[in-house]
Structure 1
Amino acid sequence: MKLSWKQGLGVWAATTSCLLLAVWLRYYLTDNGFIKEPNQTYDYIVVGAGTSGCVLAAKLAASNSKVLVIEAGGEPPWYSWIPLVAPILQGSEQYDWRFRTVPQKFAAGALHGNQAFWPQGKMVGGSGQMNFLIHATGSPSDYDSWKVPGWDSHTMKTALDGLTCWTKGIVKPFVARPSFLLDGESEMCRAPVLAEIENSTSCSENAQHFQCPSAAVKLQRVNATEKPLLKAFLDAGRACGHSVSEMDRWSDTGSFMASHNTIDGKAGQRWSTYSSHLMPAMKRYSNLHVLTKSSVTKLVWRRNKVIGIQYLDADGRIKHVKAGKEILLSAGTIKTTQILQQSGIGPPHVLEPLDIPIKADLPVGENLQDHLQVPLFVELNASVSLNIVKMLHPRQFWNYMVHGKGALATSGIEGIATLTKKREDGKPSEPYGMLILFNMGSINADVYTSVANIKKEAFHRWFPKSSSLSQEGFVLISICLHPRSRGHIRIISPDPMHPPEIDPAYLSNDYDVQCSIDTIKQGVELLNTDSFRALGARVHWPTFPECGSKQGIENQRYMECLVRTAALTMYHPAGTATMGHKDDPDAVVDPELRVRGVNGLRVVDASVLPRLPSGPPNSVLVAMAERAADFIINKH
């Protein structure tokens, strides 16, 4: 498409602003806490500087322990702090592990070779530097379903309450140290806050004021009074009989709500646990070292105890570091699984063919699960959505640079809904589906197809108006929250740098297909309400040839084909080192996250989740890492 002079000026402004932003962010975020050569021994070694690893390192360093964090990637690029540009990092050789699944038998029909790309952050901050920033705490039934002592809904409610520094509309005293701070609240503003405070963006004189710690993940609340598309979404939910909540509430009943995203609303920057935990700790504690561009290949043993790590440094040289107390694996589901198996912790049928001595016969790599999303484009005839032309307007860049506001200061995620069904006794089921409102009318074909491995022909049948830079619309994302399909991750070479085999076995359980269809139907029902009719909302059903010529929710065959063709990863792999009680044969770690039968080793990341929570798990992992650090400090 040929740009007009106004759009050309916008491109010029974008380039100039980005250069200025790069200089500013580099100055603002420069930190001198990184090292090039580690000591020979530390008290603790944290493998992986992702969401959980950053929390662990900060808390352990505060206990006056000597801590090494070792990360395979380097520092994140300056543009990773701009919330809206997350997809740019996906597929990057430098910042993404670029994993991919094996060809899927029952899913991924729109993808080349039926293979899903699995972006995973390879940098300090991990996937928290490239995710879509959604804050969710799950529901009570999530944790009760785990059946793990010490991780039930009551315990997790206490832990997650302790992560909320200010809660709008709920009078709730602080139970523990806060790790989440709502957008606009200064670090002196803390719960309890009066319930009648509405749309507050600054500390209220009615609020009690206490010091919030610097280790607080900041949340940006999307304001429906400023977002007509979000308002339509919430009004539609209410019209369809759903409850509407201002906050991510602790309930199994389901709710429509404005999204809360991990963004510093004052500066307009991504706010990961690198920002909230690791960065301040590196400035404060000389006993905390961070070693980057160093890949852990295996664990070092002394009989049944792990005493250190082997790693490849930036120059490819094999080196070792010892830990006097514990090794903590927080490398993410895929890399943690790979390191465990390469070190002899795993099932014999995986390790024996590779001549890897078995140190612990545990089901590492099994129970792999992931959320799947089905995105559908909804066209609008009202100018209420974000698109490329609006993003390139010089005012957007000025607003972002000067005020930290505007489109660039958002993730595009505006609304969230959890869905339930009524059981025979009239009570609601646990949440089964989630709807996400992604405010973006212009879907870039090159970016989307490259990061998701989508065939170009399939993409254009999916998003036929993607070539229009001024297109109005949004993407309605439907997610089955508790998939029953289970896959595996297995190393297939003794070479630790060889990617493992990843098979999520997507949609191998028919429940997942119907669950996705039911969620899509709930989303489409919203479009028939007055609030969306007023915007001229019209869903585009993808015209995939293999799905037949009759599209829509009335055609069950088409809907099944749609799900099996168009479902994409939500980037939430989990479960391959699941936790459980001591007699659980499927458990890899115990309730305190210690690897069973092995001394000196814990796992603290998404791989220990027995079952995915009802939503993106990032905030749950922050709470889990906080608890894990307490376990460790209390022991030693």
Structure 2
Amino acid sequence: MNDNECFDYVIVGGGTAGALLANRLTEDSKTTVCLLEAGPPDNHPYIHIPAGFIKILSNPSYTWPFQSEPSAGTAGRAIPATQGKTLGGSSSINGMIYNRCQRNDYDHWAQLGNAGWGYDDILPYFKRSERRLGGDDRYRGHDGELVVSDSDWRHPLCDAFIESAVSQGVPRNPDYNGPTQAGTGYTQRNINRGWRWSSARAFLRPAKGRRNLEIRTDAHVMAVICEGRRAIGVRHGRAGHPNTRNTVTARREVIVSAGAINTPKLLHVSGIGAGDMLSSLGIPVVHDLPGVGENFQDHYCVRLVMRAKGVTTINEKSRGPRLAVEVARWMMKRPSILGLSPSVSYMFWKSNEALDAPDLQAVFAPASYKAGIVGELDEFPGMTLGFYQQRPQSTGYVRARSANPFEKPLIQPNYLASETDRNVLVAGLKLGRRVLGAPPLAPYVVGEELPGPQTRADEDLLEYCRNVGSTVYHFAGTARMGPAQDPRCVVDSQLRVHGMDGLRIVDASVMPTVTSGNTCIPVLMIAEKAADMIRGRSAPAAETPDEPAQTAAARR
């Protein structure tokens, strides 16, 4: 391997965004790309079997086992902040839910000074990458690489949950990625015939044979190399091998797609960030850009757990002879718990009826986990309803702890710092209890395990949220997109770093505000749009699908 190799583009991170970018940029055979991924190839079987997420999520060989700093909002607890560290990134370890989030998210981004990021502008990019099995052509794509399927697995508890939500005024919604998100039903997933369809599987596999694409795994990028204010390449090595270092240069651009935690850390150790903070760490300041690592947002999840009766739940199906039956069904391409996402049914609804759009996302599964934490199933039959506020107001930060590029970053989300966030979660618990206590589910419920029937007062419900709430790994915002005049912003509407040349960021870091739901699919959209901007291709014509009258009214 040469000590100094040159490509047109160097992409830092082979995850959700990086995999798609590598595919799109190398469609031009004259363009050379080097994709650098800190983790190993995505060759572990648990990555590709959907139910394997329970095991792979705690495997440090394929994940970044980060943790947040304790805070009052988490009752002094550190919260796992795990991220994918393999080809496909977090799309190789996540819950596989296909969720574009709400139209208003993107219209708000545009209103903040980011031209071209309104919903009508970005809808073609959602459609481009998608291979939807069914759906309305006005909103859905059918020719892309990313397979999107409806859940082919049904369960009496899921059916009863949907009926219970309807009984509480939540409408059925056949497509929450269509005209409106509000409603309830079964989830859409990135699963095809029982296999996870990660970004690596969808976009890297078709591109791997291209001579103009070089993919390097176990390549931890230690710094972006700059000449003055221009990024000219990167230096990468391996943890535990300090003498193994290589330099890769970029003729055109360095593109950082390392995620909302690793991207700001990399910029910091490279000398890009708040000058006083960098100086305090002994890092020479290349560019004083105070917004780097600020504006960190995440969704804070709380779960209700009920003990079930009269039905076999996933808790029992995952053990002994029943598990053998499920394995056999999966191998025969039949619906099985091995081919499931962890969230089977959904509900998007409002904490306050006066709202125009949902501010809560809830996911339901006929399964429950010990201590309410995903990882180990309960011994008894159970069901879980997890929910979170979609548009949290609390913000935190991510920072390098030192100049050492292999040291874990400091992560402080400041969960529940906002009174609004606290009030919405308490209202969400009450809504969840009403749905789980409605007549359609009543025949299957023994009683409430968590938070428990003794927890009734608002202050006790809030204390429960602080004591047991956790992340759903939707980290965003640490390289905020917006005008250069705003000191909080890091990149412009073309995703170019303010005040730098040859440096672009393409991942969830650039979100001005976290999307109202799962972040994986919005990140793919960001990467699709970025690929056009990088290649100098004209954006597709904005689309304005016909909307139901009530949806248009809600937008106004």
* Superposed pair shares fold, TM > 0.5: yes
Among candidates 192, 199, 202, match of residue 276 of structure 1? 202
Among candidates 455, 470, 474, match of residue 551 of structure 1? 455
* 8 Å contact kept, 1:139–1:251: no
Among candidates 510, 515, 518, match of residue 613 of structure 1? 515
Equivalenced residues, count: 528
Q: CA offset at residue 559 of structure 1?
A: 0.9
**1:134 corresponding residue in structure 2:** 97
**1:23 corresponding residue in structure 2:** none
* 8 Å contact kept, 2:236–2:245: yes
Equivalents in 2 of 1:593, 1:376: separation in Å? 39
Among candidates 423, 437, 443, match of residue 514 of structure 1? 423
Q: 1:421 to 1:474 in 2, by over 3 A?
A: closer
Structure 2 residue 513 is the aligned partner of structure 1 residue 624: no
Which whole-Å deviations, capped at 9, do the CAs of 1:515-574 have from their partners, x for residues lacking one? Answer: 11111211111123221113236332336xxxxx9413xx11111111111110111111
Equivalents in 2 of 1:477, 1:249: separation in Å? 20
**Structure 2 residue matching 1:280: 3-state secondary structure:** helix
**2:186 corresponding residue in structure 1:** 258
Equivalents in 1 of 2:338, 2:2: separation in Å? 37
Structure 2 residue 72 is the aligned partner of structure 1 residue 72: no
Structure 2 residue 160 is the aligned partner of structure 1 residue 232: yes
Among candidates 459, 482, 495, match of residue 391 of structure 2? 482
Q: 1:561 to 1:358 in 2, by over 3 A?
A: same
- Percent identical residues: 28
Which whole-Å deviations, capped at 9, do the CAs of 1:307-343 have from their partners, x for residues lacking one? Answer: 1001114743122010111111001111111111111
Tell me the C-alpha RMSD between the 2 structures: 2.4
**1:354 corresponding residue in structure 2:** 281
* 8 Å contact kept, 1:412–1:439: no
* 8 Å contact kept, 1:350–1:491: no
**Structure 2 residue matching 1:62: 3-state secondary structure:** coil
**1:207 corresponding residue in structure 2:** none
**2:270 corresponding residue in structure 1:** 343
Which residue identity lines up with residue 124 of structure 2 in the other structure? T
Report 1:179-578 matches (<5 A): 190=142, 212-213=143-144, 216-223=145-152, 226-251=154-179, 254-264=182-192, 266=193, 268-283=194-209, 285-313=210-238, 315-316=241-242, 317-362=244-289, 363-392=291-320, 393=322, 394-403=324-333, 405-420=335-350, 428-441=355-368, 443-444=369-370, 448=373, 468=379, 471-536=380-445, 538-542=447-451, 550-552=454-456, 555-578=457-480
Structure 2 residue 73 is the aligned partner of structure 1 residue 106: yes
**1:48 corresponding residue in structure 2:** 13
Report 1:78-97 matches (<5 A): 78-97=45-64
**2:541 corresponding residue in structure 1:** none
Q: CA offset at residue 37 of structure 1?
A: 6.7
Equivalents in 2 of 1:409, 1:295: separation in Å? 32
* 8 Å contact kept, 1:57–1:67: yes
Q: Which moved more, 1:90-99 or 1:617-626?
A: 90-99
Structure 2 residue 78 is the aligned partner of structure 1 residue 115: yes
**Structure 1 residue matching 2:415: 3-state secondary structure:** coil
* 8 Å contact kept, 1:391–1:407: no
Q: CA offset at residue 252 of structure 1?
A: 5.5
Equivalents in 2 of 1:535, 1:421: separation in Å? 25
Equivalents in 1 of 2:36, 2:481: separation in Å? 24
Q: CA offset at residue 421 of structure 1?
A: 5.7
Q: CA offset at residue 286 of structure 1?
A: 1.3
Which residue identity lines up with residue 81 of structure 1 in the other structure? H
* 8 Å contact kept, 1:222–1:260: yes
Equivalents in 1 of 2:254, 2:343: separation in Å? 36
Q: CA offset at residue 376 of structure 1?
A: 1.5
**Structure 1 residue matching 2:493: 3-state secondary structure:** coil
Among candidates 483, 490, 514, match of residue 588 of structure 1? 490
Give structure 2 stretches of 5+ with no counterpart: 539-556
Which one has a bigger Cα radius of gyration?
1
Q: 1:380 to 1:416 in 2, by over 3 A?
A: same
Give structure 1 stretches of 5+ with no counterpart: 1-35, 179-189, 191-211, 452-462, 544-548
Q: 1:365 to 1:217 in 2, by over 3 A?
A: same
Q: Which moved more, 1:395-404 or 1:164-173?
A: 164-173
Which whole-Å deviations, capped at 9, do the CAs of 1:255-291 have from their partners, x for residues lacking one? Answer: 1121011111x2x1111010000111103x1111101
Q: CA offset at residue 243 of structure 1?
A: 1.3
Q: 1:608 to 1:600 in 2, by over 3 A?
A: same
* 8 Å contact kept, 1:223–1:258: no
* 8 Å contact kept, 2:176–2:182: no
**1:204 corresponding residue in structure 2:** none
**2:131 corresponding residue in structure 1:** 165
* 8 Å contact kept, 1:168–1:246: no
Q: 1:39 to 1:56 in 2, by over 3 A?
A: farther
Equivalents in 2 of 1:142, 1:567: separation in Å? 24
Which residue identity lines up with residue 247 of structure 1 in the other structure? D
Normalising by structure 1, report the TM-score: 0.79
Which residue identity lines up with residue 572 of structure 1 in the other structure? H
Which whole-Å deviations, capped at 9, do the CAs of 1:10-61 have from their partners, x for residues lacking one? Answer: xxxxxxxxxxxxxxxxxxxxxxxxxx77871001111001000000001001
Equivalents in 1 of 2:297, 2:139: separation in Å? 36
Which whole-Å deviations, capped at 9, do the CAs of 1:576-613 have from their partners, x for residues lacking one? Answer: 10101333221100001000110101000111111111
Equivalents in 1 of 2:206, 2:181: separation in Å? 38
Which residue identity lines up with residue 488 of structure 1 in the other structure? Y
Equivalents in 2 of 1:54, 1:594: separation in Å? 19
* 8 Å contact kept, 1:57–1:278: yes
